[in-house]
């Protein structure tokens, strides 16, 4: 039976997700059948560009539709919580862009609802499904690096977008791009850090525009992570072990090149598309869609590679970083079921 996708918002990341999905030749029996946006003209333009059959002028109308099984939510950060709940309440599986929600309380609330409804939900940390990352994980598990002792990662871009810089939209550099660094450290160490230390700079909105984060996992194991929204960095990450190192090359958050322990540079080509992408290496967005389909068909409500527990841990880490830097949302003062 065909797995039918609905797209929530007609923005830039939704464009790239749909383009990656539609241009991938081996996605199996699944298709994108609908898109919803608050601006119907924009939704219709999006649908025409990507050959999507149905257009909705409200998210609720899409949620009510019996023509979709699963949604991809590409909305602004501050809308994630409400939209996840809306679609779960209406019986839809969910793939929600990172950050999953604004804080750990919202995150746990949404996951609790998904479990209650027995519906699949996953944070769209597409990195976890990168062929390069899977290759790196195999090398680590085979003991090629020995004991992992240190991770150094950098992610810096020049960004003028309100979605990152404005508090009202859930803006935050750590939520927008710092999460990629945090998830890398968790991907490698596979346990919560014992201590978190963050220093950074806030803009006039009270939103973090840069930070250095030190994660201490005990026994001399650490990660030092640098993120910037006003400065372009060399966006790579190196994992150091007692037997050698691996460098995930720029762009580390979805790489097509990795320098492995033996010094060899391996490439991981991505499929091509006739339509342009907004962001680099966005063709890789399809791999998370493949995982969603696999899990739903297997009767799972979470992915083993991006589990509910992992999403909650990331939310807690970002809460801690924001707290240390003094970034506070009104949503932090609320309680959630």
Are 111 and 311 in contact, with CB atoms under 8 Å apart? Answer: yes
State in Å, rounded, how far the first CA of the chain is from the last one: 34
**pLDDT tens series, the chain, 337 aa:** 899 999 999 999 999 999 999 999 999 999 999 999 999 999 999 999 999 999 999 999 999 999 999 999 999 999 999 999 999 999 999 999 999 999 999 999 999 999 999 999 999 999 999 999 999 999 999 999 999 999 999 999 999 888 899 999 999 999 999 999 999 999 999 999 999 999 999 999 999 999 999 999 999 999 999 999 999 999 999 999 999 999 999 999 999 999 999 999 999 999 999 999 999 999 999 999 999 999 999 999 999 999 999 999 999 999 999 999 999 999 999 999 9
Tokens 């540079």 belong to 265
36 C-beta neighbours (distance < 10 Å), count: 26
* Cα 309 to Cα 112, 276, 291, 304, 306, distances in angstroms: 12, 35, 17, 10, 8
**DSSP reduced 3-state for 327:** coil
333-336 LR contacts (CB < 8 Å, sep 24+) = 334/105, 335/105, 336/81, 336/105, 336/106, 336/108, 336/109
User: What burial letters (b/e) apply to 249-280, b meaning 16+ CB within 10 Å?
Assistant: bbbbbbbbbbbbbeeeebebebeeeeeebeee
**Closest alpha carbon to 43 in 80, 74, 2, 89:** 74
Question: How would DSSP label each residue in 99-149?
Answer: SSSSSHHHHHHHHHHHHHHT--EEEE-GGGG-HHHHHHHHHHHTTTT-SEE
pTM exceeds 0.95: yes
* Cα 337 to Cα 94, 113, 128, 330, distances in angstroms: 19, 9, 29, 17
Topology at the third CATH level for domain 131-267 = Dihydrodipicolinate Reductase; domain 2 (3.30.360)
Rg over alpha carbons for the chain, rounded to the nearest Å, is: 19
- Helices 308-325 & 179-189 angle (0-180, nearest 10): 130
Are 183 and 128 in contact, with CB atoms under 8 Å apart? Answer: yes
In tens, the pLDDT along 43-74 reads: 999 999 999 999 999 999 999 999 999 999 99
What pLDDT score does 110 carry? 98
What pLDDT score does 62 carry? 98
What pLDDT score does 82 carry? 98
Which homologous superfamily is 3-127 in?
A: NAD(P)-binding Rossmann-like Domain (3.40.50.720)
Asked if the bond preceding 251 is cis, omega within 30° of 0, the reply is yes
Question: How would DSSP label each residue in 222-252?
Answer: EEEEEEESBS-----EEEEETTEEEEE-SST
What pLDDT score does 1 carry? 87
- Distance between CA 227 and CA 235 in Å, rounded? 9
> Is 68 buried (19+), middle (13-18) or exposed (0-12) by CB count in 10 A?
buried
Helices and strands (H, E) in the chain, number of each type: 11, 14
**246 half-sphere exposure, CB direction, 13 A CA radius:** 27
Q: Do domains 3-127 and 131-267 have the same CATH topology?
A: no
- Distance between CA 2 and CA 93 in Å, rounded? 14
- Domain extent listing, the chain: 3-127, 131-267
**Closest alpha carbon to 314 in 221, 186, 220:** 186
In tens, the pLDDT along 119-153 reads: 999 999 999 999 999 999 999 999 999 999 999 99
């Amino acid at each position: 039976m065909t797995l039918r996708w609905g797209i929530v918002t007609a923005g830039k990341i939704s464009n790239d997700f749909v383009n990656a999905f539609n241009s991938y030749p081996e996605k199996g029996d699944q298709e994108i059948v609908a898109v919803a946006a608050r601006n119907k003209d924009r939704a219709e333009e999006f649908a025409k560009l990507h050959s999507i059959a149905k257009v909705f002028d409200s998210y609720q109308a899409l949620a009510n539709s019996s023509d979709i099984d699963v949604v991809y939510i590409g909305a602004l950060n501050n809308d994630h919580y409400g939209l996840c709940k809306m679609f779960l309440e209406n019986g839809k599986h969910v793939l929600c862009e990172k950050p999953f929600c604004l804080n750990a309380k919202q995150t746990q609330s949404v996951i609790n609802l998904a479990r209650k409804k027995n519906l699949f939900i996953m944070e769209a940390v597409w990195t976890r499904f990168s062929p390069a990352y899977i290759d790196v994980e195999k090398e680590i598990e085979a003991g090629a690096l020995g004991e992992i002792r240190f991770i150094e990662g950098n992610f810096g871009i020049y960004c003028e977008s309100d979605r990152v810089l404005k508090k009202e939209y859930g803006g935050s550099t750590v939520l927008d791009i710092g999460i990629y660094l945090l998830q890398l450290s968790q991907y490698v160490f596979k346990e919560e850090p014992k201590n978190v230390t963050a220093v950074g700079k806030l803009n006039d909105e009270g939103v973090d525009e840069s930070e250095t984060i030190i994660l201490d996992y005990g026994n001399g194991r650490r990660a030092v992570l640098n993120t910037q929204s006003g400065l372009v960095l060399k966006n790579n990450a190196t994992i150091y072990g007692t037997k050698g190192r691996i460098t995930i090359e720029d762009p580390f958050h979805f790489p097509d090149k990795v320098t492995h322990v033996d010094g060899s540079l391996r490439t991981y080509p991505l499929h091509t598309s006739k339509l342009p992408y907004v962001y680099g290496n966005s063709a890789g967005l399809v791999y998370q869609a493949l995982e969603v389909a696999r899990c739903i068909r297997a009767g799972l409500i979470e992915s083993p590679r991006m589990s509910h527990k992992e999403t909650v841990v990331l939310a807690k880490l970002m809460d801690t970083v924001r707290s240390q830097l003094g970034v506070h949302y009104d949503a932090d003062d609320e309680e959630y079921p």
